[in-house]
Amino acid sequence: MEDCIFCKICGKEIPAEIVHEDEKAIAFKDIDPQAPVHLLIIPTKHYDGIMNVPAGNDIVAHIHTLAIKLALRFGIADTGFRIVTNCGSQAGQSVNHLHFHLLGGRSFKWPPG
């Protein structure tokens, strides 16, 4: 997508503090962290959101597996973490590129907000 900030990060047009990159996904530190560990994990292929991922596509499973690996790497697997995706503007999705937040390193409340 031409105007998508996350596509530009994938294409190295915009800098980001990338902590993981493979053929299907990139993970990088959030520029406005809401927890001591706050990573964004995005597919390298553009999907506007979770509702746009075709049936049978394994990208969500790939990202969740990656989130577990990153939780272990960043030391939040034993204390607890959240994996969040916002779906639509009323849910807080501000970038129309499927992305998951991996948050940890502090206590969280429920409901989230």
- Catalytically annotated residues: 99
Q: What single-letter amino acid sits at 82?
A: R
